[in-house]
Structure 1
Amino acid sequence: MARRQSAVSYQEESALSQLTVKIIKASNIPWADWTSNADCYVCLWLPTATNSVPNTSTISNNSCPVWNETFEFTISNKVKNVIHLTLHDEDAITKNDLLSVVAYDVGNVNPGETKTKSFCLDPTGEQTLEVEFTVKEIPHSHEKIVTNGVLVCREMSCLEISVDKQRIPENLLGGHLCLSVKDSCEKKDRVELRAAAGNDHTYKCKFHCIRKWDPELIAQLEGTDDQCLQVVPVKTLPLGQEQKIHLSTVQVYANCWCFRCFLPLRWIQARPLEVKLKAKDCTDKMNIRLGFGICEEEIIFRSKRKKLVADALKKVLNLDRDLQEHEVPVIGIAATGGGVRAMISLLGSLIALKKLNLLDCVSYITGTSGSTWTLSKLYADANWSQKDLTKTLEDVRRNVTKSKMSAFSFDSLAFYKSELSKREEMGYKTSFSDLWGLAIESMMYDKVNESKLTDQRKALCNGQNPLPLYLSMNVKPHENSTLDFKEWCEFSPYEVGLLKYGAFIRSEDFGSEFFMGRKTKVLPESRICFLLGMWSNIFSVNLLDAWYAAVSSENFWHRFTRDNVLDLGEEEALERKKASACLDTRLTQPAGEFSQRVRGVLTNRPLDGELHNFLRGLQMHSNYVTENDFCTFDGTELDNSPNNLTPCSEDLCLVDCAYYINASFPPLLRQERKVDMIMSFDYGLSDKFKSVVQTEEYCTAHKLFFPKIEVTAEDKQNPKECYVFADCEYPDFPTIMHFPLVNDTFKKYKQPGVERETDQEKEEGNVPLSGLFSPYKVFRLTYGDEDLEKLINLTEYNVLNNVEVILQTLRNIIECKQKRSSSTARL
């Protein structure tokens, strides 16, 4: 597959148009209660043009209301503009009822065209909403955008506001100044008017806005009437020049005389409050990288690592010559989660690879949930893979076998509270994930761990270790199960990014506040423990996820509680969609109140972790649905509703990947990484092939390179230690070496080829991975010495016992790369 333009971002111009929406009438709206016809009004939501949601007037007691009301919006033609028309029934006693929602892609209307649409509001077609759309190009009006084909970054302006505390009128001290810019990132601010103290002479705040939205500043002194209100259109302010506005204060009583005319003065005007404004364009470099390629630092790392890998492969395979650059395979390790079990097991697997001199052949290690605990410990040492891992093993042994009661003592809880308070002061949104991260640190570390994710760059500067990649999943915190919505989020020491959108930020910037690709508030980088709490937040589950995990089906509750979404399937839209990226018109009929309440209970994630969304403000490109890199999940209907995608959300909600696939393959399947072989370590206790089978299904649905996973009934019943899945017909597919957590020949052999003889040795080969009383359950946080030793020895042995399979697979991959190179050269 050829590299696409969206591998990097590019600039282009986007014309601006005037969209006029005329809400004409509705027909045959049913009674909303038993006493009268509906009292209807329509709201218009177009978040690509404004933050406001205008609405029509209410037509009372009428099943066929007529409005003929017009609304205007300025739209950018390179942006996916989908307007939501929501029909409501106004109720004076209870909350207003939402009757239906129509989502219409404005791209169906060409510039210079007027189109009248009669939207069906029910499957029978009896209920309708008639709307007229007109799009007119605005002459000589355009804006420059930056895009990767999926996301659009538009031109942004910043309004800086300052108040000199030394010039605040005395009668206003202790009061408040209310500032608001509705069409901005910040929306509003409330300034406490207090006297200057020390060097603190000026209060400053900023509002960031999309330049073409023409936002307005509304300033008012709290408690005053409308006469003291100032409305300032930002576009009237000269760029880069400071302007002043004065807010008049209320008149005050004065018991004095005018000495000129000797008449009594009962009222005088107090000195106004002076507010300084400065508008400027944000032309500084973006703090977000748009593009589906890998970052420059990783490219440099790969170059350095490839040289070390080539030398290691020559030694371990006894090659008679040096490998050329194009012959060196890229090898990755993908580890599943599983709490402490995964933490110990991954360490055992890595110890085995180290003994076989194969660890230097690996370029990437990916982990999720419990396996990230191991990686965080290893990468605290900049040269860990070049050393004996005994020291790390002893550290893990000490912390895994110790009592965890101290992690929940009064002193520890007081420390947690103090740390969470510090994070709140920094500007973070604290959650249960943060608390869980602090608990993990207390349970699995000897002391407070001050390291950060970016500190792991030291372990990569010379390519001396594999590049660690951590995986999480972004979901909706409310009203959606993981089946409804999910997105991969990748973390590396260099970048953090949402893979579906091709959007990445520097790792040190994760947690800071962003708008339109630029940092609006810089927060200090989090300690690694807070990331661990997020990556392995096994508690952030909603009841629908739990139901699905238990019975592999949420069909009943899912269908019973969800809204009814219908594609209206208009013929002209279908025809146009063949040649463009226009979305079908969609009708949403909200579930009943009882169903909504049930779904609210089932989908709420009470123990989630919400973080500032670094995609905030960015908009979807008009052709995003045709972009190959935009990988959607089957059944994720929100992917066809751009107004509900992550760029429109204020926060991210990142959870453990185990809610969907307990595996960490996605970072290794990115085309630009060109991974040739993945060593899959599955540390699950039940289905030994679930992680690779689910990954294959995911890759097949999204046309990603992954071999066919064929497992016999015998293998499912009695799984072996190692399986190789490859597809010779498709050389671009990675070869998968799958190591399930099984106790197969280890029962008989204490080392490869060395049988167990004594009763004690045979007992050491008895590792209870299954059964109700297995010591390796996921919620088990403390292991006995014997249980830990058995698990370490088992996972180490399972790799050592398959060294010939590993070596032969490597030879096959290198031979395949050589043949392809030779074939290409002949062509």
Structure 2
Amino acid sequence: TDLSVCLSDKRRIKPFLNRSEQEFVASRRNTVLQTLKKLKIQCSRKEVPNIALLGSGGGQRAMVGLLGSLVQLDKAGLLDCILYLSGVSGSTWCMASLYQEPDWSTKLETVKDRIIKRLKGPEVSLTDAMAKLKKYYYGKDLFSLTDVWAVMVVTSYVKEIDEHTLTEQRNQHKKDPFPIYTVIDKQCKQSSDGDPWFEINPYEAGYSLTGAFVDTCDFGSQFHEGSKKKHQDEFDMLYLQALCGSTLADEVDIKKTMWQKIKPCPPDSDKRGFPSDDPIPPSVDECYRALMDVVDMNISALNGEDTSGFDESIRTNLNDLSGGKSQLIDPMKTLETADKGAEKRYIKRFTIDVCEDLSSRIKIWLIDAGISICKCMAQWIWGRKYNFLHNMTDEAVHSTLRQSETRDYIDAGLLQNSPYFSVLREERDIDLIISLDFSDGDPFMTVTGAANTCKTLKIPFPEVNTISENKMKPKDFYVFKGQNSPTVIHIPLFNVVNCGDKVEDWRKKYRTFQGPYSAEMIADLMEVAGKNISNNREKLKEQIAAVIEEKRLSRFNNFLNKD
């Protein structure tokens, strides 16, 4: 039964793999079997291991690192052993680039050269970026900072505007690993209720552990009690990359970057590359100045500077526009005190009030969009979508997931910077997880975090003990095994094997929140990431053989127990 039909029939569906994924898995397992024979690893059809490759977050470092790792897996003859490829944040940027090309893994060297050529090339022009922002602004009911992040930030790294959709890729990748993009549900994360882990693949999107899914082309459409009320066009791949990769630094850094990025150009922007088609009313200059003051006020607040001058300037501008006193909240006396929390609340409320005042005065798209963006900034709205579980009556779906008409989806790195919970779905029956970790800081945080969460949720996962490991000088290959759980191979990007005694130097050179990498940096990072695979080819083969042997013993024991 197709899941979208189940939802429209007002029926809750239990966790299972949809028919398209089942068919893919069956076909891909045949490919894996043939690959194992080439590697001279003994394996019967029933013992073929389900292997998942995970790419963590880490901005462009993760994007390039995953690409370098995949290239070496291909050269080692191991790429066709992989059943699933799942990514978080920056790793999804690499995935999106690869899956543009049908059956990319059969011509990876050519695809890799094309991607690197693009990454070394020019950025998307301001004209094209603004045209894309306008499409996003007018093309959907729910506009959020993710749209702005896609156009203003993600394009600066990936160097393109990819307007294809994920569902266009159906049946184009029969020779590639099955792709899973992952995000988290912001409300579930904040409330610690429900299921925060959310996955998106070419066929369906939904909550990994709850088992509630919708057809990917309907993710974002408006639903009520399981039936679709209003269709929204499927988002494109640029937006998907922004949805997955929207946390490159802490919140203050992001806010500073975003406030700077969203400064709209003046209405006479014909001198700046993107003229407005709309007639310009005489009040537009005052509206523009007021909006710029709102932006600068927020930037100053983040920098700990005095904002009272902006407050006065905004009020003066709006009073001039209205010919009298504008209806804004009164100046807050505590702005001059040390109560920073009260100041933040005031600036948030003041920003929203000013934006609503300006919205009633002007309809030039660029400034109108700027007003909407400022409101999103003040309320910190990212990845807002209609909730396809809204008001479903089946109590198997957590009440947290049923109550609100909309949900916000954000970068999974804010909770778990590696997509373990997409591949730990029981029905995917994963035997071996290869975790490529491109994270900042603690090189074991993702695997220990996954282990701790699995223990709480009673999901089979091996015990992870890294107390004796030097976090500043990790090795390049760790194996964690447990009873009745998948084997986990954990590979930190920068380690004492591929970086020698310069691990910290590499970390400092490739920070998450920095401008796009140079051609030389990309080449060096590709090489160092690739070494983690080439140096461990035999160890990877050994672990693949080991999980096959475990499956063989398990089948034998089950046979004996039946007798």
- TM-score normalized by structure 1? 0.50
Aligned partner (choices 378, 391, 400) of residue 617 of structure 1 = 391
Number of the residue aligned with 2:113: 394
How many Å separate the matches in 2 of 1:373 and 1:539?
13
Aligned amino acid, residue 331 of structure 1: I
Q: Which residue of 1 aligns with 2:318?
A: none
Q: Are 2:248 and 2:512, in contact at CA under 8 Å, matched by a contact in 1?
A: no
Question: Residues 445 and 742 of structure 1: is their aligned pair in 2 closer, same or farther, counting only changes over 3 Å?
Answer: closer
Q: How far 1:747 sits from its partner (Å)?
A: 4.5
C-alpha contact 2:88 2:183 (8 A) present in aligned 1: yes
Higher strand share: 1
| 1:704 to 1:383, Cα distance in 2 relative to 1, 3 A | same
Kindly indicate whether structure 1 or structure 2 has the higher relative contact order, using CA contacts under 8 Å at least 6 residues apart: 2
Change in Cα spacing, 1:808 to 1:605, as seen in structure 2 (3 Å) is: farther
1-structure distance, mates of 2:154, 2:61: 17
Q: CA deviation at 1:358?
A: 0.6
Could you tell me how far apart the structure 1 residues matched to 2:550 and 2:183 are? 33
Q: Which residue of 1 aligns with 2:132?
A: 416
| 1:8–1:513 Cα change, 3 Å | closer
- The alignment yields a C-alpha RMSD, in angstroms, of 3.3
C-alpha deviations, 1:640-680, integer Å up to 9, x for none? Answer: xx3xx121101110000111111111011000000000000
User: 1:687, CA displacement in angstroms?
Assistant: 0.5
Question: Which digits, 9 at most, give the CA deviation of each residue in 1:480-526, with x for residues without a partner?
Answer: 84768861111011100123432111111111111111111122222
Equivalent in the alignment of 1:662: 417
What are the superposed Cα offsets for residues 544-591 of structure 1, whole Å, 9 maximum, x if unpaired? x99xxxxxxxxxxxxxxxxxxxxxxxxxxxxxxxxxxxxxxxxxxxxx
Distance 2:344 2:415 in 1: 19
- Is 1:349 aligned to 2:41, yes or no? no
Instruction: State the Cα deviation string for residues 188-242 of structure 1 (Å, max 9, x = none).
Output: xxxxxxxxxxxxxxxxxxxxxxxxxxxxxxxxxxxxxxxxxxxxxxxxxxxxxxx
Q: In 2, Cα distance between the equivalents of 1:431 and 1:805?
A: 45
Q: What does 1:658-737 align with in structure 2 at a 5 Å threshold? A: 658-727=413-482, 730=483, 732-737=484-489
Supply the distance in 2 between the matched residues of 1:541 and 1:786 (Cα, whole angstroms): 27
CA distance in structure 2 between the aligned counterparts of 1:660 and 1:532, rounded to whole angstroms: 18
Does structure 1 retain, via aligned residues, the 8 Å contact 2:382–2:410? yes
* Matching residue's letter, 1:396: I
Q: 1:399 touches 1:444 (CA, 8 Å); kept in 2? A: no
- Taking the TM superposition and a 5 Å limit, the aligned residue runs for 1:473-622 are 473-476=184-187, 481=190, 487-538=196-247, 606-621=380-395
Q: Which residue of 2 aligns with 1:788?
A: 522
1:734-760 CA-to-partner distances (Å, cap 9, x unmatched) read 000110012423357xxxxxxxxxxxx
Alignment of 1:640-655 (within 5 A): 642=399, 645-655=400-410
CA gap 1:617/1:598 in 2 versus in 1, 3 angstroms = farther
Asked whether the equivalents of residues 515 and 615 of structure 1 are also in contact (C-alpha less than 8 Å), the reply is yes
From the superposition, tell whether residues 817 and 792 of structure 1 become closer, same or farther in structure 2 (CA, over 3 Å): same
Match of 2:273 in 1: none
Aligned match for 2:497, one of 701, 725, 745: 745
- State the aligned residue count: 448
Unpaired segments ≥5 residues, structure 1: 1-6, 10-145, 148-152, 154-284, 547-593, 625-629, 631-638, 749-761
Q: What is the CA–CA distance in structure 1 between the aligned matches of 2:96 and 2:120, rounded to whole Å?
A: 19
- 1:769 matched to which residue of 2? 506
Give the drift of 1:311.
0.8
- Which protein has the bigger helix share? 2
Structure 1 residues 596, 797: CA separation in 2 closer, same or farther (over 3 Å shift)?
Answer: closer
- Say if 1:515 and 1:532 are closer, same or farther in 2 by CA, change over 3 A: same
Deviating more after overlay: 597-606 vs 525-534: 597-606
Partner of 1:56: none
Q: How does 1:34-53 map to 2 (within 5 A)?
A: none
Paired residue secondary structure (2:509): coil
Conserved in 1, the CA contact under 8 Å of 2:99 and 2:169? yes
Which residue matches 1:805? 539
Aligned to 2:33: 310
One-letter code aligned to 1:435: V
List aligned pairs for 1:119-198, cutoff 5 A: none
Q: Residues 600, 611 of structure 1: CA spacing in aligned structure 2 closer, same or farther, 3 A cutoff?
A: farther
C-alpha displacement of 1:604: 7.3
Write out per-residue CA displacement over residues 589-633 of structure 1, whole angstroms, 9 at most, x where no aligned residue: xxxxx9996996999752412111111121352xx4xxxxx7xxx
Cα distance, 1:391 vs structure 2? 2.9
Within 5 Å, which residues of 2 pair with 1:430-441?
430-439=143-152
The equivalent position to 2:553 in structure 1, one of 819, 822, 826, is 819
Distance 2:238 2:129 in 1: 16
Q: Are the counterparts in 1 of residues 136 and 143 from structure 2 also a CA contact under 8 Å?
A: yes
- 1:99-114 → structure 2 map (5 Å cutoff): none
Cα offsets for 1:432-470 (capped at 9, x unmatched): 10122233563355654231111222333xx31110001
Pairwise mapping of residues 346-385 of structure 1 onto structure 2 (< 5 A)? 346-385=66-105
Query: Compared with structure 1, are the counterparts of its residues 306 and 599 closer, same or farther at alpha carbon in structure 2 (3 Å cutoff)?
Result: farther
